[in-house]
Amino acid sequence: MSSTNQIILTAWAAVYLLFLLWWGGRGKPLTAQETAQGIQQLRSVVSGPLSLAHLHEVEQFLAQDDGREFIMSNAVLYRKQALYPENSGFGPDPREADQRYGKAIIWPLIKRASVPIFIARKTGQFVNDANAPEWHYVAMVRYRSRRDFLNFAIDIEGQGISVHKWAAIEQTQVFPVRPLVSGFSARFDMAVICALLAWGTTQLFA
């Protein structure tokens, strides 16, 4: 193997290792002290009765931390009209409010290696409990850890981003899941991409 190809392969291997460091997913659980401090910080920036009402659920969720990555499953029912604070200047369309929220959280998620992996609009009925809400869509978001989830929540509450979420949503059901069977593996997919790019780059210098 030529020295040029060795350099190329080493460079792509370094890219993959940097990706693994960023992607994470196998960290240390939150300590009780970290959880208490995080909840206190979140309480200091959270606003609105809906956000405040969920602080207890957040605390329970963090108390079960195992340090590993997870996927948060969300089912969403829109309001008939967006419910913004008076004189907010935003329109009454709940979908537009939800779009504002979605755009605003992109960077707070990405910088923590947390990404939406599945978003789908409901297209009909099948087996359904008579008392279940008429959900409009479901979304699944990968989080690197519950620590990152906490910091994400503090981030968006501090910036006032969550006002768009609660303006849009009439009802939601949110719970964490961990895949048993999945066709998506970021680590494997990135390894394949880096391998192909490494091969392609070496061919340029063959």
Q: What is the CATH number of the domain that holds 155?
A: 3.30.70.100
User: What residue numbers bound the domain in which 168 lies?
Assistant: 70-177
Full pLDDT tens readout for the chain, 206 residues: 788 889 999 999 999 999 999 999 999 999 999 999 999 999 999 877 667 778 999 999 999 999 999 999 999 999 999 999 888 899 999 999 999 999 999 999 999 999 999 999 999 988 888 788 899 999 999 999 999 999 999 999 999 999 999 999 999 999 999 999 888 899 999 999 999 999 999 988 86
Residue 169 maps to a domain: yes
Name the domain count of the chain.
1
| Model pLDDT, residue 50 | 67
Residue 42 maps to a domain: no
Phi, psi of 171, deg, nearest 5: -155, 150
Residue 144 maps to a domain: yes
Cβ proximity of 152 and 101 under 8 Å: no
Residue 60 maps to a domain: no
Condensed to tens digits (0 to 9), the pLDDT of residues 75-123 reads 999 999 999 988 889 999 999 999 999 999 999 999 999 999 999 999 9
Residue 74 maps to a domain: yes
Residue 4 maps to a domain: no
Sheet with 115-121: strands ordered across: 115-121, 137-143, 70-78, 169-177
Give the residue from 70, 44, 42, 75 showing the smallest Cα distance to 57.
42
Residue 134 maps to a domain: yes
Residue 108 maps to a domain: yes
